[in-house]
Amino acid sequence: MRIVLIGPPGAGKGTQALMLRQALEVPHISTGDLLREAVREGTALGKAAKDYMDKGELVPDQLVTAMVEERLQRHDCRAGFILDGFPRNIPQAEDLSAHLAKEGKRLDGVVSIVVPRVELVERLSGRRVCSQCGAMYHVRFDPPRQAGVCNRCQGTLYQRSDDNAETVNARLAVYEGATAPLLAYYTSKGLLHAVDGSGTPELVFTRIREVLNSLQASPRS
């Protein structure tokens, strides 16, 4: 299946994508993760992206789109993919659909994860991420058994540098301005499925599975 996950920062896209990756056996492509890796490795892309990311702004479309297209061409995407964090605006969505159309493919569905804004800020400020496996925790709502250490792989947990109050507000504003218009865009294409993102990750996952099951039962003609 070819699925896009849309939602504001803190909606749980990354957590759901990790669970979906196992269930659907297709790769999880997070543009945020790919860009952070490029920054860590000090590549030309990473150097160009860093300032935008630190401010919570979008990295220019042509850089991100080229990175995603290169990733989608890899062999493991032949059976499908879960895109997390891309597209982030309408030009990116149009580039994605043109790229897929060139290969005779298209998206099966777009899942929008809906969470109230107050909850997003609370989730992001306490979020911790495993530096090894990417598993996510929350210092209050879902703490690891041992502070600072991943339950699954014993990796070290860290706080993303853009999960501070100032950058979180900038990221939420970018979501409202640039990304939220995608909801109407994908609705008009008959692709959008809104899912309530409140409750435990398992509960949200069940809701998303229901949507995907209905898509599998009646694929687009």
Shorter beta-carbon distance to ligand AMP: residue 175 or 205: 175
Determine if 31 is a binding residue for ligand AMP (CB under 6 A): yes
C-alpha 219/C-alpha 15 separation (Å) is 25
Interhelix angle for 61-72 vs 44-55, to 10°?
120
Mark the segment that binds ligand AMP (CB under 6 A) among 37-45, 51-59, 70-78, 148-156: 51-59
Q: Long-range contacts made by residues 38-41, C-beta under 8 angstroms, separation at least 24?
A: 38/67
127 is catalytic: yes
Q: Which of 2, 36, 123, 127 is catalytic?
A: 127
Determine if 185 is a binding residue for ligand AMP (CB under 6 A): no
Binding residue (CB under 6 A) for ligand AMP from 2, 123, 171, 193: 171
Tokens 């056996």 belong to 25
* Closest listed residue to residue 212, CA positions, set 111, 115, 113, 106: 111
13 is catalytic: yes
Inter-CA distances, 50 with 47, 149, 218, Å: 6, 26, 42
C-alpha 110/C-alpha 113 separation (Å) is 10
Q: Which of 2, 13, 123, 128 is catalytic?
A: 13
Binding residue (CB under 6 A) for ligand AMP from 4, 17, 26, 35: 35
Binding site for ligand AMP (CB under 6 A): 9, 31-32, 35, 52-53, 56-59, 64, 85-86, 88, 92, 162, 171
Catalytic center residues: 13, 88, 127, 160, 171
